Amino acid sequence: MKNEKELTLRNNLFIEISDSYSLIEDKKLTTKSLILKYLEVKLQNKIYFDTIGTIDILLESLAEEMNEDDSLNVRFNSVGYKQLIKMLTPFYIDEFQKDEFDLDYEQIILFQLQLVDYIAKNSYKYDNTIVYGHINNISSKIVRKLKNLNSSIQLIFTNNYKESMHINEVALYEKSLIDFSNIEQFYIDYSQQSFQQYSLQEVECMIIEYLKQNYTHKKKDIYQELAHFSK
């Protein structure tokens, strides 16, 4: 539910992103392809209407030429965005043409979010665009990109806490599900169990420190690690 209205598949676009995303597979433009959704939305932009209309005129002219002095006539069907997509071969281009083996983990996630951002901003068919998925190694750059996706709702599952996250946007699932967007309720529940009185701000700082200790991927120092294991 959102604002007391059910989120149905008919009125909402659900897009999954994943840290196991395959650019090679997605370029095949199957029904679940993120690139396919991106191209469908892009080609429905009115800035391409004149060009698509011109293609229709050229195909009609070609049919007329083929039909001259021939007992078998042909006709081209009108070209829509779905027919045009079948003619396209998408590929990733940066400084060099790349595939998924040239992209690091962060680039793969950011590439998906870039497509999602365009779809959410330019798709008017749905009430909401809801982005969901698991990103195990979430970086500060990925967090910033997620925060900039203002045209969509994001439900991201991760085991990795970053300081750039806002605590009120975090839900923690251990023995039970705790939604820190309602930090006041957590404060009340915690105060009833605690033997010491804390302020709301102190409890919030304690929560952040707990997340740092238990849900932050710590960077290793190879020199210190080797020295440790050699003892």
- What DSSP string runs through the chain? -BTTB---TTTEEEEEEETT--HHHHTT--TT-HHHHHHHHHHTSGGGHHHHHHHHHHHHHHHHHHHTT-SS---PPPP-HHHHHHH----EESSSEE-GGGS-HHHHHHHHHHHHHHHHHH--SSSEEEEEEE-SS--HHHHHHHHT-TTSEEEEE-S---TTS-GGG-EEESSSEEEGGGHHHHHHHHHHH-SS---HHHHHHHHHHHHHHHS--PPP-HHHHHHHHT-
41 inside domain: no
Domain that holds residue 158: 12-21+90-222
In a domain, residue 190? The reply is: yes
List pLDDT tens digits, range 94-133.
655 566 667 888 999 999 999 999 999 998 888 999 999 9
Residue 1 included in any domain: no
Assigned domain for 94 exists? yes
Q: Taking the complete model, does pTM exceed 0.85, yes or no?
A: no
Report the pLDDT averaged over residues 44-57.
91
**CA quadruple 99, 103, 106, 110: dihedral sign:** negative
**45-63 average pLDDT score:** 91
State the total domains in the chain. 1
Confidence of residue 219 (pLDDT cuts 50, 70, 90): low
Q: Quick check: is 105 in a domain?
A: yes
Q: Is residue 46 part of a domain?
A: no
| 16 domain residue, yes or no | yes
pLDDT at 231: 55
